[in-house]
Each structure stands twice: as C-alpha cells, then as structure tokens.
Structure 1
Amino acid sequence: MRGTSRKRDRFGPMTPDQILAFGRRALRIARTEIAAVSALFIVALGVMTFVELADDMTEADGRAFDEAILGALRPEATPGDPWGPGWLETAALDLTALGGTAVLSLFAVIVTGFLILQRKRLSALLLALGLIGGVALSEGLKALFGRERPPEMLRAVETMSASFPSGHSLLSAVFYLSIGVMLTRAFPERHFKAYIIGVAVLLTLLVGLTRVYLAAHWATDVLAGWSVGAAWAMALWLIAYALQRRQQGHPQAPHVLPVDEDSGA
C-alpha cells in the first residue's frame, strides 16, 4: 500500500512550484533551440550573401554600385579629398585600426590570457582558433578572387593584399561579435545584454564603413567581409554549443564559447 501511495504521489497533480519549475525548463529549452536555429540561419545567410556578392562583383551592376559609392565619398573634382570635414578622415584612420590584424591580435592575447586565468581554456582555444581561422579565410579568399583595390590616388591608407573580401571587416565581425556574445553571460539583465551586443555590432560596422570611406575597399568588399565574418562567428558558436551539450548532458541556453570551470576543458 505504501508503494502504491508513493507512486500516486509521484504521478499525481503537479504543485504550483513544480509547474513553475517545469515552465522555466521548457522555456530554457525553447530558447536554446531557437538560438541554435538562428545561428544556423545566420551561417546559411552569410554564405549565400557572400556567394551573391562574389557573383555581382564581376557584373556591370555590381561594379556600378561600388563606383557610385566611391564617387560619393571621394569626389572626382578633388580625388585626394574625402567627403565631409577634415577631422572625419582623421577619426576614420583611428577607427579603422580597430579591425587591423595587429590590434585584434593584441586584444585576442589579452582576452585569451584572461580566459585562461579564469580556467576557461576551451573558450580561450576557440577564440584563438576563430581569429586564426578568420585570417586564413580572409587571405585565402583574397588570393582566390584577386580583386584590385580602388584607385591608388584615392586611397588614404596603404594596402598590400587583394581587395575582396575586406579582411578588416571579416576579422572585426569574428572577434567583436564573439566577444560581445560571450560577455553577455555575465549580465542576466536583458538591457545589459542588448547594450553589449549593440556595442559589438557598432564596432564591426564602424570598421567596415571606414574601409570604404578611406577608399581602402569597395563597398561590396566590406559587405562580403561582414557576411563571412558573421557566418564564421556563428559556426564557432555552434561548435561551442555542441561541446557544451556533450559535456553537460542536457540542453542549456548556449552562448558563444561557453565553458565553465567545472567542465575540465
């Protein structure tokens, strides 16, 4: 009789606390699956956008778009002078360095060291591999397409490699978006999460826009860099998510490069 009573209690009506706990878990699982699907969507969208831009780059419409943007920012009447006040070019030169390999490498070393001190070694490894993979993607695609830069007389910065895609745009998307999403783990409040992601997106956009403004890249180069960078960042997110699911054994709301101290990684 005691066994039957216990069985009835176990499978009987749920208490309000049990219903609340069940609802929270169901919501957490739903958010997890939505986030994973969203990440896959961004990867697919980024790849498709890049393919479309690569195709348009060789067509008259694509070249006309790039030339129109460049002509608006660097008027033909004064080829060496950009559009806007003089201080704007100085500011653009400062901001564009935020997407340079040297600056991002320094930031990556600082963040990686912090993650190692926090015993988040897998996070540090994935972040480093993400940036290294981004550099490899950038250089490989540049070598594959071999697109020429905008006319040298219009450029405000020195360039060495090919133009398509923009390496600054690609690497800034990988680094800042990954760091931004990773930092959201420390802030449960939604407005803090939105602020952090907003700053990461803003930095990524500023780097790309300055590349066009300084005539270092065509506009489609920057769009292609953003597309590949976002897709690569989300691919890393999915890898981290899969590892987290495997380590913890149950779904949990994922974040880019999520590894806890107890994971042993």
Structure 2
Amino acid sequence: MRWDIVFDALRAFVLRAGTTVGGLGAFLVAGMLIAVGAILLFGQVAQYVMSGKTQAFDDAVLKWMAANQRPLADAAMLEVTALGTGVVVLTIVGVSSLFLMLTRHKYSALLLLVATAGGLLLNTALKQFFDRPRPQLFEWGTHAATSSFPSGHAMSATIVYSTVAYLAARLYKRVWPRWITMIIALTIIALICASRMYLGVHYPSDVLAGATIGLGWAAFCMATLEAIQRFSLRSRPEITKDEIPPPDVAQAEVTLPVASGGTPTRPTT
C-alpha cells in the first residue's frame, strides 16, 4: 500500500470538508479519523498479544519496574491508580454531568454519560472476548479479578478525563486555559497508565490497548456531539433582515393634549 497516496487523499478530504462546512467540518473529520486510527492500532496490538509476540517485551518491562520500586513511589502509585477506580471515575462523571445540566449544556452532559457507560460496556466485552490472564510476576495487595486485556483503568481514565477536559475547554474563551486543561488531563492519564504497570496488575500491551481504544471511543463521542449540535443549529429557522417587520410609526407617535389656547400641555399624574 502506498501510504503517501493514502495520506494525501486523507489530507485533501479533511481540507475539502473544512472548506465545505467550515472549521467544524474539519474537526468532525479529524475526530472520525482518530477513532478509525485507534481501532486499527488496537486491532494490531491485539493481534500481537494473542500471537505471543509482545510477551517477552511485557515481561521485561514489568521486571525492570519491579527491580526499581521504592517505598515512596509505591505509596504514590497506589494513590495515583485510585484515580482510575470506579468510585472516583463515577463521582467525577456524576458531578460534571450535574454541573453541565444546571448550566444548560444538556448535550455535553449526555455525551459524558454515554461515553462513560459505553466505554464500560465495551471494556467488559473486550475483556471477556480476549480473556488474557493477569501478570503473575509479583503480587501486590490490589484486587484484580477481571481479565488483563485491555486495561480497564487505562481505558476508563482516557475516556473520562479526556472527555471532561474537552468539555471544560469548550467553556473557555481564551486559548491558554484550554491548553492547561488538556495538559492536566493527559498527565493524569499517563500517570494512571504507568501505575498499572508499576503495580504489576497489567502488561504494557494491556495499557496501550486500553488507552488506544479509549481514545478512539472518546474521539467518536466528541465528533458525534459536534455533529448533533451543528445539525441542531442548522435546523433552527433563521430570520433575515427582510423578514423583520418595520416599526409601526403610527403607534410610536405620542399625541399630547392641547389646551384651549392651542398650546400642547403634558399630562399630569
């Protein structure tokens, strides 16, 4: 396959979409391309995992992390990994959704709820399908009863934190708060992913797959939100200048009472 031809075709498609429906059109196409690319990358990682091609690399990374563990880092990673647990994630989703509803951003609240619930169902289905055993190199006091591939923490963290950051960035008018919000979200996601490997409850390939499919699902949901809002705006009737009725001049005129001498007088209260 000529990847240069594919790249040129995709680039032309994005630019054409942006020219046709504005900058938002380019955003929609970019979101869908990210989703498709994430799915393809996830499929490639899954193929390597199921064929055993990643096992040597996975074991080597976990052994290196186990050999470099420190008490302070152990405590920090246990706290960081808690940011990806169900209680914390659902609390963030609940509070954020309530705030969005109260501020009349119903589509944004719906996006966050659908992205979270859909990601949970998708991760459960993928775990049951691949049914990869957990790493057994060393044992921590963490409970991990489900399958290993893909990482639920990495997937849910990528979906929730990136979506919340995206929705928060939409509320900012300036550029620098948007960048700060996205950087904070990416840092949290990266730390959670690293903690899953550090604690030995996931292989690196599990974490990569979880973050990849989580990004793809989040990008799809974000692009869908933009499409819904754009369709909603386009479906509203627009009032042009010609359709605005002219003011009634006769009603605007005020007739003052005239005294017997012919001089207008102001009414008294």
Q: Is the shorter-chain TM-score for this pair beyond 0.5, marking a shared fold?
A: yes
Q: Mark the structure with the bigger radius of gyration.
A: 2
Task: Select the residue among 142, 145, 149 that pairs with 1:160.
Answer: 145
Q: 2:70 & 2:66 partners in 1: Cα distance?
A: 13
User: For residue 36 of structure 1, what is the amino acid of its counterpart?
Assistant: L
Q: 2:69 & 2:226 partners in 1: Cα distance?
A: 45
Give yes or no for the alignment of 1:118 onto 2:103: yes
Partner of 1:192: 177
User: For residue 200 of structure 1, what is the amino acid of its counterpart?
Assistant: A
Partner of 1:259: none
Give yes or no for the alignment of 1:47 onto 2:39: yes
Task: Select the residue among 120, 127, 133 that pairs with 1:148.
Answer: 133
Give the unaligned 5+ runs of structure 2. Answer: 1-17, 236-269
**1:104-253 equivalence runs, <5 A:** 104-151=89-136, 153-249=138-234
Q: Residue deviations 1:117-162, cap 9 Å, x none?
A: 1122232222111111111011110000000000063345221100
Q: Residue deviations 1:212-233, cap 9 Å, x none?
A: 1100100000000001100110
Q: 1:84 & 1:215 partners in 2: Cα distance?
A: 11
SS at match of 2:208: helix
CA RMSD across the alignment = 1.8
Runs of 4+ in 1 over 6 A off after TM superposition: none
SS at match of 1:90: helix
Give yes or no for the alignment of 1:92 onto 2:77: yes
SS at match of 1:203: helix
Query: Sequence identity of aligned pairs in percent?
Result: 27
2:27 touches 2:223 (CA, 8 Å); kept in 1? Answer: no
User: For residue 74 of structure 1, what is the amino acid of its counterpart?
Assistant: A
Partner of 1:13: none
Give the unaligned 5+ runs of structure 1. Answer: 1-25, 76-82, 251-265
TM-score by length of structure 1 reads 0.78
1:166 touches 1:221 (CA, 8 Å); kept in 2? Answer: yes
Task: Select the residue among 49, 58, 65 that pairs with 2:57.
Answer: 65
User: For residue 65 of structure 1, what is the amino acid of its counterpart?
Assistant: F
The number of residue pairs the alignment matches comes to 218
Q: 2:138 & 2:183 partners in 1: Cα distance?
A: 35
